[in-house]
Amino acid sequence: MEYTNPVQNEKYTITSQNVRITLITPSLFRIEKTKNGLFCDNATQSVICRNFSAVPCEIRRNDRDIFIKTSKLEFHFSYEKKELISIKFPNKPVITDFTSENLKGTTRTLDLTIGKTKIGDGVISKNGVAILDDSDSLVFNGDKIEKRAADESDIYYFAYQNDYRAALRDYYKLTGIVPLIPRYALSNWWSRYYAYTQDEYIELMQRFIDEKIPITVATVDMDWHWTDVTRRFGQKAQTFDFGNIESLFYDLILPGWTGYSWNTELFPDPKAFLTWLKDKGFKITLNVHPSAGIKFFEDDYAEFCKNMGIENTGERIKFDITDPDFVKAYFEVLHHPKERDGVDFWWIDWQQGKNSKVPGLDPLWALNHYHFLDSEKNNKRGLILSRFAGAGSHRYPLGFSGDTAQNWKCLDFQPYFTATAANIGYTWWSHDIGGHCNGVRDDELYLRWLQFGIFSPVNRLHSSSNEFMGKEPWKYKTSVCRISTEFMRLRHKMLPYIYSINYQTHKNGIALCEPMYYEYPNDENAYKVPNQYHFGSELIVSPITSPANKKLNLAAADVWIPNGRYTDIFTGDIYNGNRKLKMFRDEESIPVLAKAGAIIPLNADGYTNNFSNPENMEIWAYRGNGSFEMFEDDGITKNYQKGACAFTNFSISGNNKDVIFTIAKPFGDLTVLPEKRSYSVIFKDITDFESAVITRNGEEIQPDISRKKGCIIVNLPYSEHAGFEIKLKNITAKNNGDKRERLVNLYSRIQMRNNPKLALLPFMKGKLKPVGILKDAVAEIDALYE
């Protein structure tokens, strides 16, 4: 792990009366308070860089107070009271409460929650000031993690007003950048807590292949290792850790909770099993619960003792993440051999509390830290799946949000929870899509959860061992199976788009899922749609998280449309912005709005699990002025850091008559790209045109244009790293069709007797105003024609 300038610039540090104030940026400062004058210059678990750039300032001080003014603010600290008194922005009221109106961050886990739960603070606030309290963090001393030299209060003040993205950019500079996620992790995952046999798991994965449902990550939960250990190895296999109440619980109910040896009753040939998965293109992760240590029956017990230099007594070797010898053996003996056999990364399922032999060291944080660093060996890009362990945890993606119940309340909380986590830099949550346990069987709930999963950071289907809770699409009614299959194919097709945003997260701190108020901090409406978020730069998503109205068979989401023109990518409906609506959808879709000028690069193949840079691409383009930069590399290694990556820029411009769409020649290391590539550019909101001119590398070529489903499709031929320009003249823009037909369709949906329904005609014709859900549904239709 690299520590980039943890020592602050002394030029911008003021020390007096056991208080040290450090200016990090004009909007970010640190205040330390100790009793003995010892301050922390080490990197901590959360903070790894404090030396940014010059911070010009004016200082006024006396024995009791200091006033510091930067280009962005002025703050007042009282030496007498040993506290920050106020922060003043130009032409704004003085701020004296530094924790109010915080826009929140995230939490350790959603285990056993049922809907809303309390979450921690983030580093942005509506009142303009937020704090990051780093007082309890341990420090790095070389490779060691240890207690600070002295107890101190160590608080960072983020005073960025409502420039939330600037606050987060500096937060990432302070705490470390988000790593670039491997490409395969951004498609679809299969996961289930279920005791599959080797043949059953292979049969299941082959079924996904046969159904043409792309799965890139195959997860094997804890039953890959021995779990019924007392039956297999005798009562000695059950041990008790009386010093840890969380561990003791699992020792009692499931003594095989921890394990590292393949269950050869279920998996008689583990190497052949892993080889089959690898040959079929799957990446593989195994679940580990390390808390119970290493017991005598493990295949590698003797080797573990030898590696640690301890006597082989047959007694349990206790888990101790603070012991360097244990950590070394933990990886070299228990994990690396399985990685050589084919395991790609590990799902670290720590649920046993925050205590270790080093006071203040949370084993979860240590496991995340060591596992992620270990996963980066051999030029690999690091990856784990584990719970959140505090500020700075974004350095160790991905996040596992824990075991949630299968109900509407849990689903309804997750869109807000996911986007809000960006406020503490935690951009890569992975949820148990569909819910893990308990709850009810509800096909509609499954489908809505999966639709959210497709437009979330990681789409990992998961459930418990309950025989009736599998998340395979074919286990649900015919329409739900078809729709969920189509959505999973769409997720895989979106890899070029999502992976490019992944690069923006890594490079510029722009999350895939961001709250609406990042883009619109001055509009109060942006704060009132907690379940709505940007999905990358081009899309706004508002998942449906409540069941359909049984009278209409439609479900609704509360949507705020910002200024501008937006097109629903599923329905094709076009909305003019600056309005709030309830958007109603049948089970086929959820509201996903493309902005004017949106460009969405897609893989044309949504049927296989090939996650490499595609040879055939679709580009969805929407009228307006916009651009998008697509990032590509090998998707797995760190070679991109040495320039082994390529970029392709797309742009669209025009007016109400003409449209110009451009694909620039790719630049960078073109060896990471397919030798040749074809494009199908789909103009999603143009239905016709009078003439077209298409050029390749500046030379006109014969157009290959078709019209399908109200769109214009321009097929560009296989070419070697070419640039293209498409000019469509005198276009006919898509419209929203006949309003009366929409109203008839809406009223026709009402589930009631037909003759009494005639009494609704005056409402449909506008002579009477509808009420209730019909009022909201009609309001959405009205909005399409305003």
- In a domain? residue 102: yes
* 499 within some domain: yes
Half-sphere CA count of 50, side-chain side, radius 13 A: 26
* Adjacent-strand bridge partners of 763: none
Distance CA 235, CA 577 (A): 67
The CA distance from 786 to 784, in Å, is: 6
Burial category of 142 from C-beta neighbours within 10 Å (exposed 0-12, middle 13-18, buried 19 and up): exposed
Examine the domain organization and report whether 98 and 203 are in the same domain: no
Judgement on whether residues 262 and 153 belong to the same structural domain of the protein:
no
CB–CB of 66/21 below 8 Å? yes
**For the chain, how many structural domains are there in total?**
3
Query: Of 148, 175, 202, which marks where a domain is finished?
Result: 175
In the predicted model, residues of the chain with pLDDT beneath 50 are 1, 3
What's the domain range around 413? 183-508
Token output for 111: 């285990």
601 assigned to some structural domain: no
Same domain for 660 and 690, yes or no, is: yes
Q: In this predicted structure, what is the pLDDT of residue 326?
A: 98
3-class secondary structure per residue, 421-488:
HHHHCCCCEEEEECCCECCCCCHHHHHHHHHHHHCCCEEEECCCCCCCCCCCHHHCCHHHHHHHHHHH
Whether 564 is in a domain gets the answer no
Is 192 inside a domain boundary?
yes
Enter the DSSP assignment of 33: E
- 188 in the same domain as 159: no
Burial of 570 (0-12, 13-18, 19+ CB in 10 A): middle
- Reported as type and span, the H/E element at residue 715 is strand 711-719
The pLDDT of residue 1 is: 45
User: 3-state class of 769 per DSSP?
Assistant: coil
* pLDDT of amino acid 245: 67
For residues 86 and 188, membership in a common domain is answered with: no
> Does one domain contain both 407 and 295?
yes
Residue 600 lies in a domain: no
Q: Are residues 106 and 203 in the same domain?
A: no
152 in the same domain as 217: no
Buried b (16+ CB within 10 A) or exposed e, 328-357: ebbbebbbeebbebbbbbbbbbbbbeebbe
Q: Which two tokens stand for residue 109?
A: 């886990």
In the block, which residue shows the tokens 């749609």? 529
Residues 293 and 358 in one domain: yes
Let me know if residue 235 belongs to a domain.
Answer: yes
- Tell me which of 508, 533, 562 is where a domain ends: 508
Dig out the tokens for 289 from the structure.
């619960």
The answer to whether residues 455 and 307 belong to one domain is yes
Domain-embedded: residue 229? yes
- Residues 156, 97, single domain; the answer is yes
171 and 261 inside one domain: no
* Domain CATH code at residue 238: 3.20.20.80
Last residue of a domain, one of 486, 508, 530: 508
pLDDT digits (tens, 9 = 90+) for 450-474: 999 999 999 999 999 999 999 999 9
CATH number at 620 reads: 2.60.40.1180
